[in-house]
């Protein structure tokens, strides 16, 4: 393209207006109408022009044709620099004034040697969206570039120069050629490469195209170090530094951090504002972080945060502007400060509603303020709430001495439990003492009540509600450990005469069965403490007992249970809805916020948030954590092969039940078919135990027996007797225990037994503990709680069920404080049957409980249609068979 006419003709063929936005074109049209542009020269395919700006200042333009992606490329000496309104005005001027197309021939240019280039470093960033295949999300990503150009007495050049290359320039109206200095330019490149820069191989819009030679650094941390440590050095050496608006590391230092708490009198909430002071401005961080997390939710992932060092930083752009130049304020947040903020306030960022400068937090959640205690904040207000949080944090790690008159020596963890109970009382809060069975929850509670009595605060009675089977245990332990407490047991018809004298006692004992009947009388008596033992009995909030306990008037509410969660998170919600009504929302809110994300979606972040919330009000210690003197517990699966007769009947029952379950699910869906499914599983389990549980009248068998599992049990018991072992044998079926009894009597083996029909529970316990008998038969429901059987060293579960918490409670009759021998736990499982499938599901169910109560990994247990398929699958190698009518 040798002349301007050709340039103009070519310009008319190209969609050059697409290189400008609408506002730029509109301003350019105005400048062109006013006649501001002046054509200076056209040389080597490049048009040079001058255009008067908004004042009296003139700007110089250099315009040439571009490629398909950019029809024209125009550089200007104005602050915008690239394809600005002055460039648009010149191009419009060309279309409107064709008579000016003839320019005087360019005079020969004078060559100037030995001009030293001034390095010009431009810095810019681009924020764009990119798909991340690992998280399957669109992520917001920053791309940064450094552009290197060389200024020769006002004329810029970039890229590598060939020998004798020159820069075209005009000085005082005279065209000149300034010889470039390749060696000097290379030295300047080497300086950047010494700082870690490498040539950028990919194009980027972080800087205007073809404006400089592009370089990049390997990480955000490297960029930060360069800007903070190297850039001042380059400025001192005479480099010109041009920072484009939006460059992510054009940072303003954070002067300080603050937290402001506004408490509302007599309200169960408070407002928290967390912010920073930047450039003299007070800025709340909550809306900033909310906007960031909604565009980059992976920042809330514990896994993501764990990969970030505390000294790493996250750049943030604020809505406020810098006072000096009006550019948006940009700061760096250290991950060391960001992690506790996100951990403390994480779930508030997930709500749909907008967050203002402050966030409203329920009062019991004041405990989360402890997560901010290490941030060197300037606190404003909230002294009472911060003290509340500190006491909740420290109470499980402090020791409260045993009260005078307690007839027991408290272990260290029991002293810590007593301290925790005392702190809850002081703060007016409730909590769950969730220690493993056998760690002395009853003793810690009695010690707590004795402290209250000595302090004069037990001016009203405390009421303990429990299963009927635990009444003797509470009576014995209260008499043994705290004889100073006046105890009244509300049991039997005679209890009615005691209702008028409840205030005369320190401790009242009643049962879940009797409480709804006696509610009218107990409501009239204000209580100092309301304690639910085996509190999982109120896991169904619609039950009569759960409704009744909420109607009582008390200063403090406590729950005692070794299994705060047995089946699903709804049970945990029920406990806390009793302790702190409304704190975790209603059942529907809790399901939406926690149950569905955790149980069905395996959301580890929601699980961590739930753990953070409940931790201050749930004290849970496991035996292996606190009772180091306990011997080892060994769990063994004892596999049993079904007899031929059992296999035949199992397949008959399986086919019939499989068809029945499928028809029920098809009619009512999986969720509404639970009773039919449980009935079907019950029959299959009974076949595994003994044929006589399913078919009541069976002929005496001449070959084989009615149960290969019973045969295996008797063989095992014979060996254990010879070894001198002391055995607890659990079964869910009392009818199975009756069949076992027959075999024991036939062999003249001594034993004791507890079932739901047992009235005197103390005698069999004492006989076993005293060594009079080596075998204890126990129904799982009647004997799974309230028994201390440390004389046992072997536990046998004859028919395991899929509630691991119930089995663990039963095992803990032997594996508890006072045990001085290793305990062996046998689970008898019929191979290839529903028992084996249940054993597998049990592991998943235990994972849910561990995830919530022990802050473990995500809990992903749920009953799925494929579980139904597995539970009713045929035994391996079983022949095809049609269903037969059951007797």
Q: Which fold has domain 398-626?
A: Rossmann fold (3.40.50)
Q: What is the mean pLDDT of residues 196-217?
A: 90
Predicted confidence (pLDDT) at residue 854 exceeds the cutoff of 70? no
Name the residue ranges covered by the structural domains of the chain.
4-106, 112-243, 254-392, 398-626, 635-871
Distance CA(424)–CA(434), nearest Å, equals 15
Tell me the mean pLDDT in the region 587-604: 78
pLDDT per position as a tens digit, 17-62: 888 888 899 999 999 988 889 888 887 778 888 888 877 778 889 9
Give the torsion sign (CA, 83, 87, 93, 95): negative
**Averaged pLDDT, 313-323:** 76
Would you say residue 105 has pLDDT above 70? Answer: no
Structure tokens at 265: 């009198």
Q: Identify the CA nearest to 216 among candidates 144, 319, 129, 298.
A: 144
Comparing 342-346, 432-436, 536-540, the range with the smallest average pLDDT is: 342-346
Short-list 557, 554, 549, CA closest to 531: 557
pLDDT band at 594 (very low <50, low <70, confident <90, very high): confident
Rounded average pLDDT over 645-656: 88
Predicted local distance difference test score (pLDDT) of residue 737: 94
Give the helix/strand (H/E) hosting 511: strand 507-511
Q: What percent of the chain has pLDDT over 90?
A: 25
Phi, psi of 557 (to 5 degrees): -120, 135
User: Phi and psi dihedrals of 304, rounded to 5?
Assistant: -65, -45
Indicate the fold that domain 635-871 takes in CATH: Rossmann fold (3.40.50)
With CA atoms as reference, report the closest residue to 781 among 757, 755, 799, 759: 755
Beta pairing, strands 462-466 & 527-533: parallel
The candidate with the shortest Cα–Cα distance to 485, out of 399, 403, 552, is: 403
Q: What mean pLDDT value characterizes the chain?
A: 82
Q: Give ∠ CA 349-845-795 in degrees, rounded to 5.
A: 140
| Predicted pLDDT of residue 140 | 72
Do 398-626 and 635-871 have matching folds?
yes
Cα separation, 369 vs 392, in Å, equals 11
Task: Give CA–CA dist 851/761, Å, rounded.
Answer: 36
CA dist., res. 646 & res. 707, Å (int): 7
pLDDT in tens, 517-534: 999 999 999 999 999 998
pTM equals: 0.59
Report the 10 Å Cβ neighbour count for 78: 19
Cα–Cα distance between 209 and 634 in angstroms, integer?
A: 71
User: What integer pLDDT is reported at residue 493 of this predicted model?
Assistant: 87
Burial degree of 521 (CB within 10 A; 0-12, 13-18, 19+): middle
Instruction: Please report which helix (H) or strand (E) contains residue 412, including its range.
Output: helix 412-427
Report phi then psi at 467, rounded to 5: -65, 150
d(CA 715, CA 121): 87
Instruction: State residue 862's pLDDT score.
Output: 47
Higher-pLDDT residue of 332 and 202 is 202
More confident residue, 14 or 466: 466
Exposure string for 643-672, b = 16+ CB within 10 A, e = fewer: bebbbbbbbbbbbbbbebbeebbeeeeeee
Region of 303 (left: φ > 0; alpha: ψ -120 to 50; beta: rest) is alpha
Higher local confidence (pLDDT), 210 or 852: 210
Task: Return the minimum-mean-pLDDT range out of 586-590, 749-753, 877-881.
Answer: 877-881
Confidence band (pLDDT; 50, 70, 90) for 456?
very high
Nearest 5 degrees, angle CA 808-CA 811-CA 812?
A: 85
Helix (H, G, I), strand (E, B) or coil at 137: strand
What distance in Å separates the CA atoms of residue 616 and residue 623, rounded to the nearest whole number?
Answer: 20
Q: Write the DSSP symbol of residue 40.
A: E
Q: What per-residue confidence (pLDDT) applies to 523? A: 93
Sort strands 198-199 and 213-216 into parallel, antiparallel or unpaired. antiparallel
Residue range 715-743: mean pLDDT, rounded: 89
Strand-pairing partners, residue 797, are 730, 827
């Amino acid at each position: 393209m040798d002349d301007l006419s050709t340039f103009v003709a070519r310009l008319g063929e190209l969609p050059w207006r697409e290189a400008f936005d609408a506002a730029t074109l509109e301003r350019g049209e105005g400048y062109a109408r006013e006649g501001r542009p002046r054509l200076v020269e056209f040389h080597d395919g490049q048009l040079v022009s001058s255009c008067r700006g908004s004042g009296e200042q003139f700007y110089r333009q250099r315009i040439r044709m571009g490629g398909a992606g950019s029809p024209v490329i125009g550089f200007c000496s104005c602050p915008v620099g690239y394809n600005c309104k002055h460039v648009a005005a010149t191009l419009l001027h060309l279309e409107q004034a064709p008579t000016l197309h003839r320019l005087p021939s360019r005079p020969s240019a004078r060559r100037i040697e030995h001009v030293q280039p001034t390095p010009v470093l431009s810095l810019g960033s681009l924020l764009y969206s990119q798909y991340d295949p690992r998280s399957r999300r669109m992520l917001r990503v920053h791309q940064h570039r450094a552009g290197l150009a060389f200024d020769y007495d006002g004329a810029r050049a970039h890229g590598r120069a060939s020998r004798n290359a020159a820069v075209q320039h005009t000085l005082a109206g005279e065209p000149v050629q300034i010889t470039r200095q390749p060696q000097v330019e290379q030295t300047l490149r080497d300086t950047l490469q010494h700082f870690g820069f490498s040539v950028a191989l990919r194009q980027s819009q972080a800087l205007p195209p073809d404006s400089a030679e592009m370089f990049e650094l390997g990480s955000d941390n490297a960029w930060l170090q360069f800007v903070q440590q190297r850039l001042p050095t380059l400025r001192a050496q005479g480099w010109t530094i041009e920072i484009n608006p939006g460059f992510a590391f054009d940072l303003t230092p954070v002067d300080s951090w603050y937290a402001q708490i506004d408490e509302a009198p007599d309200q169960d909430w408070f407002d928290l504002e967390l912010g920073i002071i930047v450039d003299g401005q007070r800025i709340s961080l909550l809306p900033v972080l909310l906007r960031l997390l909604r565009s980059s939710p992976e920042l809330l992932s514990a896994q993501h945060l764990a990969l970030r060092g505390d000294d790493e930083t996250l750049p943030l752009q604020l809505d406020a502007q810098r006072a000096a130049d009006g550019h948006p304020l940009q700061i760096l947040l250290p991950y060391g400060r960001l992690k506790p903020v996100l951990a403390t306030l994480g779930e508030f960022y997930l709500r749909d509603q907008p967050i203002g400068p402050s966030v409203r937090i329920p009062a019991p959640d004041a405990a989360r303020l402890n997560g901010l205690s290490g941030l060197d904040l300037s606190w404003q207000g909230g002294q009472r709430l911060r003290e509340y949080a500190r006491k909740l944090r420290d109470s499980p790690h402090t020791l409260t001495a045993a009260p005078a008159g307690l007839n027991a020596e408290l272990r260290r963890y029991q002293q810590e439990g007593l301290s925790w109970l005392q702190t809850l009382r002081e703060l007016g809060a409730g909590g769950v003492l969730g220690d493993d069975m056998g760690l002395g929850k009853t003793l810690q509670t009695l010690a707590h009540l004795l402290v209250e009595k000595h302090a004069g605060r037990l001016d009203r009675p405390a009421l303990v509600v429990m299963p009927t089977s635990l009444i003797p245990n509470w009576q014995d332990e209260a008499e043994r450990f705290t004889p100073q407490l006046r105890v009244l047991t509300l049991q039997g018809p005679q209890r009615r005469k005691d209702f008028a004298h409840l205030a005369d006692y320190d401790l009242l004992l009643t049962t879940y069965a009797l409480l709804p009947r006696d509610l009218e009388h107990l409501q009239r008596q204000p209580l100092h403490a309301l304690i639910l033992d085996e509190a999982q009995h109120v896991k169904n909030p619609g039950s009569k007992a759960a409704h009744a306990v909420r109607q009582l008037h008390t200063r403090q509410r406590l729950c005692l249970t070794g299994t705060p969660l047995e089946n699903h998170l709804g049970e945990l919600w029920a406990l806390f809805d009793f302790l702190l009504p409304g704190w975790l929302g209603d059942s529907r809110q809790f399901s939406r916020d926690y149950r569905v994300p955790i149980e069905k979606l395996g959301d580890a972040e929601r699980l961590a948030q739930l753990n953070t919330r409940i931790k201050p009000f749930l004290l849970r210690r496991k035996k292996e954590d606190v009772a180091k003197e306990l011997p080892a517990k060994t769990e063994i699966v004892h596999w049993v092969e079904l007899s031929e007769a059992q296999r035949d009947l199992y397949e008959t029952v399986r086919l019939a039940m499989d068809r029945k379950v499928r028809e029920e699910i098809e009619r009512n869906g999986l969720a509404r078919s639970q009773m039919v499914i449980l009935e079907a599983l019950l029959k299959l389990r009974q076949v595994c135990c003994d044929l006589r549980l399913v078919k009541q009248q069976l002929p005496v068998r001449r070959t084989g027996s009615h149960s290969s599992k019973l045969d295996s049990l008797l063989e095992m018991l014979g060996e254990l007797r010879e070894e001198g072992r002391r055995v607890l044998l659990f079964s869910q079926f009392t009818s199975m225990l009756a069949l076992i009894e027959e075999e024991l009597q036939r062999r003249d083996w001594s034993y004791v037994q507890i079932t739901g029909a047992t009235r005197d529970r103390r005698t069999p316990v004492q006989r076993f503990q005293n060594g009079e008998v080596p075998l204890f038969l126990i129904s799982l429901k009647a004997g799974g709680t309230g028994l201390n059987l440390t004389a046992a060293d072997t536990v046998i579960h004859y028919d395991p069920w899929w509630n691991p918490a119930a089995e663990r409670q039963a095992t803990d009759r032997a594996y508890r404080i006072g045990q001085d021998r290793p305990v062996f736990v046998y689970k008898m499982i019929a191979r290839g049957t529903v028992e084996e499938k249940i054993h597998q599901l049990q592991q998943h169910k235990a994972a849910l409980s561990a995830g919530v109560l022990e802050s473990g990994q995500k809990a992903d247990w749920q009953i799925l249609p494929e579980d139904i398929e597995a539970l009713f699958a045929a035994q391996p190698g079983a022949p095809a068979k049609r269903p037969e009518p059951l007797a």
